[in-house]
Amino acid sequence: MIGYAIVVFREVLEAALIVGIVLAASKGTPGRGRWVSGGIALGVLGACVVAGFAAEIAQAVEGMGQELFNAAILFAAVGMLGWHNVWMGRHGKEMAMEATALGREVAAGARPLYALASVVGIAVLREGSETVLFLYGLAAAGSGGAIDMLGGGTIGVLCGAVVGAGLYLGLLRIPSRHLFAVTSWMILLLAAGLASQGAFFLNQADVLPALGNQIWDTSWLLDEDSVPGRVLHVLIGYVARPEGIQLVFWATTIVILLSLMRWFSTAPKRAVVRAAVIVSLASAGLVLAHAARADFTIHPPIVEYQEFEVEHNGSYTFDSNPANKHNETGTLELGYGFLPWWGSEVEFAWSRTASDPPRRLDEINWENTFQLADQGEYWLDPGIFAEVGKSARVGNTDHVEIGPTLQKQWGNTVHTMNLFFEHLFGPDNGEKSVNFNYAWQSLWTWKREFQPGFEIFGDVGPIDRAPGIRDQQLRIGPVAYGKIDIAPGLGELKYGLGYLLGLTHGTEKGALKWNLEWELVF
């Protein structure tokens, strides 16, 4: 019986801790007990189903069904937790006004309890399915009768529940005004831990590389299988022997969720959160009155095959006109070279203007680079760039941008040109307009770590009714780029920095631009 109890306790522990955190995070919301109980019940049901279909799942998708299933539900849980935190960031102020009837109504009606219930259900399903299989194995082998199994199982569940309850009650001791912040952080770390587990399974499924089999080994300090080790594993994602990819997913989840929480937050900014976001890859944003964003990026007609990259671009403009005084843009991009001739990136773009201070997510773009020939095969290296963008702001437009990219290497200089046509979609776009913008870059490939040159960016505007050059945007300025190797297997870092002077009446006086990229081939 003890054997059963111990096994069940180990598995139940993780789910119980998650239930404790969820209950504390949703304190004050009527009906949460029903939602969480529902989540647990569905999770138990799901666990039995998954255990029953273990054979079929294992053989699915060329033998990687288990891994892909686990990764999918883990990332679904990450999404739910992230959604909850973002939602709380927007409505936290109202939630804190528990004392008022309005606050209670908001709490009752709007909270995404289904999100929290799903997380509970997923946690129970994950741990539960393994438990069911294990108990079935023990039972089939005849080690002890039904009473042993039931008794041991119940004891295990109760012990797990006690630990979960302990966490819940401990969290409740925190004064209400701080509880929201504390549970937000706990949910953030919980999500990061689950994402790291998801990465583990994707590596097992041979979908992601390990990026280092064992970045450190702290099993001598705290074994992951011990009770405190498991507790830490759930709460902060502790892994005694982490793969590099697990750390990448852990950190990236925190960066992305913190950034999203901050963008959508209506609460006064806290210094700690602000510092964390700045330290992370996210950067300032900008809102331009202009429908098209001013992105100062040159797109070469080259695909870096099998290269994964995380990129951040930013700009900060200066102008004497007070309305345009300090505008900022920023992007975060994740990309991969899927084929030798096709690379793709997802880009999150945000901005902030002097007249509209909060940073806002402007759009989410899907960029594709097509390399049409080998480098040097023709006199000019030809390529095509195609981008689809979905606006994240009310009233703003979606867009498609496409055009040729050309490059020429000449001795120790390289020159690149972009000619892009942008078609805007949207309710406010009565007349279909196609905008045209162009860019040029010349670099002296002096050293790998430092390549100076200049760039030109021009935006004509709508082709059919283009304003004169005076009112178009045109910029030129010095830039420098470089590449630095980090360590074998850890990829390389690329940087870019430049200052663009506005040449026309319709352009800001100056713009500082930068970009930082981390690339890894696998």
Residues in contact with another protein by CB under 8 A are 54-55, 58-59, 62-64, 66-67, 130, 133-134, 136-138, 140-141, 200, 203-204, 206, 210, 213-214, 219, 224, 240-241, 243, 338-339, 342, 366, 388, 400, 402, 423, 425
Distance of CA 279 to the CA centre of its chain: 16
Residues 6+ apart with CB under 8 A from 300: 369, 383, 405, 407, 416
Task: Note the residue count of the chain.
Answer: 522
Work out how close the CB of 257 gets to another protein at its nearest, in angstroms, rounded to a whole number.
24
Q: Does residue 470 come out as left (phi exceeding 0), alpha (psi in the -120 to 50 range) or beta?
A: alpha
Nearer to another protein (CB atom), residue 229 or residue 477: 229
Tell me how far apart the alpha carbons of residues 82 and 254 are, in angstroms, rounded to a whole number. Answer: 10
Q: How far is the CB of 436 from another protein (least distance, A)?
A: 15
Minimum distance from CB of 302 to another protein (Å)?
19
Q: What is the torsional sign of CA 212, 218, 219, 222? A: negative
Q: Judged by CB, which is closer to another protein: 70, or 265?
A: 70
Q: Residues 44-53, buried b or exposed e (16+ Cβ, 10 A)?
A: bebbeebbee
271 or 487: CB nearest another protein: 487
Q: CB of residue 214 vs another protein: minimum separation in angstroms?
A: 7
Separation CA 44–CA 50 (nearest Å): 10
**Residue (199 or 286) nearer to another protein, CB:** 199
Interatomic CA distance for residues 202 and 210, integer angstroms:
9
Nearer of residues 67 and 363 to another protein, judged by Cβ? 67
Whichever of 141 and 487 has its CB closer to another protein, that residue is 141
Cβ nearer to another protein, comparing 314 with 335: 335
Give min distance, CB of 100 to another protein, in A: 46
Strand-pairing partners, residue 483, are 494
For the bound state, the minimum distance from the C-beta of residue 137 to another protein, rounded and expressed in Å, comes to: 3
218-248 burial, b if ≥16 CB within 10 A, otherwise e? eeeeeebeeeebbbbbbbbbbbbebbbbbbb
What is the DSSP secondary-structure string of 45-101? HHHHHHHHTHHHHHHHHHHTHHHHHHHHHHHHHHHHHHHHHHHHHHHHHHHH-TTSH
Q: Identify which of residues 366 and 450 has a Cβ nearer to another protein in the complex.
A: 366
CA distance 308 to 199: 15
User: Tokens 């939630």 correspond to what residue?
Assistant: 95
Minimum CB distance to another protein, residue 203 (Å): 7
* C-alpha closest to that of 316 among 330, 335, 297, 333: 330
Give the shortest CB-120-to-another protein separation in angstroms. Answer: 22
CA 130 to chain centroid:
29
Residue closer to another protein (CB basis): 64 or 294: 64
Residue 516 backbone dihedrals phi, psi, to 5 degrees: -135, 130
* Pick 241 or 448: Cβ nearer another protein: 241
